[in-house]
């Protein structure tokens, strides 16, 4: 497999959209993740290397930002009008937070890996 030429790289927005969907930011034909959060070493479709790209704690940070901004206003808006027991509220909001976190985290990581890749900023680690 060959490395892509710089002029063949997709623009930033298509690369970000592909990463958000968990697809290779370069070609979009193969999955970016080998498992839930482990990125592939190389895209099996186009051969682009992703092993050297690290998003570190940016994905959890972005996930907290998104989940917090989605749930907190909703909870503050709906909770004062509820008459159910406190334990139901705790169980409901904790479950909703966990479910949304598990949904957003891989998308946040895909988005950030794609941004790092598209901006050619993989850091000090090289393939
Ligand atoms: Zn690819």
Report pLDDT digits (tens) over 42-86: 999 999 999 999 999 999 999 999 999 999 999 999 999 889 999
pLDDT of residue 124: 58
For residue 84, report the distance from its CA to the centre of ligand 1, in Å. 50
For residue 47, report the distance from its CA to the centre of ligand 1, in Å. 6
For residue 16, report the distance from its CA to the centre of ligand 1, in Å. 13
Q: CB atoms < 10 A from the CB of 3, how many? A: 11
Query: Among 58, 59, 14, 22, which residue's Cα sits nearest to residue 39?
Result: 22
Say how far apart CA 13 and CA 33 lie, in whole Å: 19
pLDDT band at 3 (very low <50, low <70, confident <90, very high): low
pLDDT band at 5 (very low <50, low <70, confident <90, very high): low
For residue 51, report the distance from its CA to the centre of ligand 1, in Å. 13
For residue 44, report the distance from its CA to the centre of ligand 1, in Å. 7
Q: Kindly report the pTM of this predicted structure.
A: 0.85
Mean pLDDT, the chain, integer? 91
For residue 63, report the distance from its CA to the centre of ligand 1, in Å. 25
Say how far apart CA 40 and CA 96 lie, in whole Å: 29
For residue 29, report the distance from its CA to the centre of ligand 1, in Å. 6
């Amino acid at each position: 497999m060959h490395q892509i030429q710089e002029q063949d790289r997709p623009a930033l927005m298509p690369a970000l959209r592909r990463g958000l969907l968990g697809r290779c930011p370069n070609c979009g034909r193969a999955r970016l993740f080998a498992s839930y959060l482990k990125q592939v070493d190389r895209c099996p479709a186009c051969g682009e290397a992703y092993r050297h790209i690290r998003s570190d704690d940016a994905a959890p940070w972005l996930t907290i930002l998104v989940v917090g901004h989605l749930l907190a206003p909703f909870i503050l808006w709906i909770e004062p009008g509820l008459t159910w027991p406190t334990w139901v509220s705790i169980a409901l909001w904790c479950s909703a937070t966990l479910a949304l976190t598990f949904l957003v985290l891989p998308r946040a990581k895909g988005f950030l890996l794609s941004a790092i890749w598209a901006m050619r900023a993989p850091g000090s680690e090289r393939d």
